[in-house]
Chain A
């Protein structure tokens, strides 16, 4: 666990005990980045400050349910994102997104490579948490390996493919490498992740992207 994660845990422990100084410290530590995040979207300082204020209130009201294994900064950003989304909806800038009814796979309910019906991959919350944690660990380990070995091209390539969803050709252009190199990085990455998933005895249904065609 990183030092900052450890100090955040201690800080939250004090806030849970009702320590006002600890709450002040948390505000001082995080309000600037939260304000920058919200302000970049709203371009309205007063409104952005209101959203950050709601974020801090939201944090305290949700604190009993906060899982401390989750990094504090990410948790605060996720609350800010929800408050910002609500604000934009109220202003009419962001459309309300309804839940698609089950079985509407033509609209993309199923993951791209998922051949099985959705009902077979609806699982218990606990199971889902375990699966996501296993894949998170495997991804984090892979990213750490690339960093330690200075394999920045691989990291950039996989990030563009899976986080930005770019096709191989666009990634090759963005990184000024061949499409074959992109395909090789992708193949190697998927093979490693599949191995990690199998080691955890997770079902192949869980992340169909791992079994997609290259």
Chain B
């Protein structure tokens, strides 16, 4: 759905919280319209002064996000209908990027090979363990 960008879109853009296609759309718009940069800059400044919108607080606190267990239940088809309907709305209409990532991860757990995952985790551990206890 193509619609005019609003303040909430720009706030979510600053948080990297929108679905990738919407993030790309805003980046394209920012390159084309310097006034939009001014708007995003104003949000940035407002936040630096400690003024947050209700949307900022809701999104930042992930107040309506389903739990990972609920996302797992959705995949297994065992979530009650009304709750499942809401979770799909949250993923698809609201487009919560964090919940989408959780869902993708849960879906991918079966698909990815054990050795690949272990190798990646070892790399993360080895590159960061030097900072432990500092």
Contact = CB atoms under 8 A, between A and B. Distances in A.
Interface of A: 2, 4, 15-20, 23-24, 27-28, 31-37, 40-41, 49, 52-53, 56-57, 60-61, 71, 73-74, 77-78, 81, 84-85, 93-95, 97-102, 104, 107-112, 114, 118, 121-123, 125, 128, 132, 135-136, 139-140, 143, 150, 152, 155-156, 159-160, 162-166, 170, 174, 193, 207, 209-210
B125 A209 contact: no
Majority DSSP secondary structure for residues of B touching A: helix
27 contacts: A2-B67, A4-B67, A17-B133, A20-B129, A27-B125, A33-B102, A37-B97, A41-B20, A74-B62, A81-B15, A95-B31, A97-B37, A97-B41, A100-B41, A100-B45, A101-B45, A108-B43, A109-B46, A110-B46, A122-B51, A123-B50, A159-B94, A160-B94, A164-B8, A165-B6, A165-B7, A170-B3
Contacts of B124: 27, 31, 52-53, 56
Interface of B: 3, 6-9, 11-12, 14-17, 19-20, 23, 27, 30-31, 37-46, 48-55, 57-64, 67-68, 82, 85-86, 89-90, 93-94, 97-98, 100-102, 104-105, 108-109, 117, 120-121, 123-125, 127-129, 131-134
B123 A165 contact: no
Given A97-B14, A109-B46, A209-B53, A163 B8 contact: yes
A152 B66 CA distance: 13
A13 B99 CA distance: 26
B40 A97 contact: yes
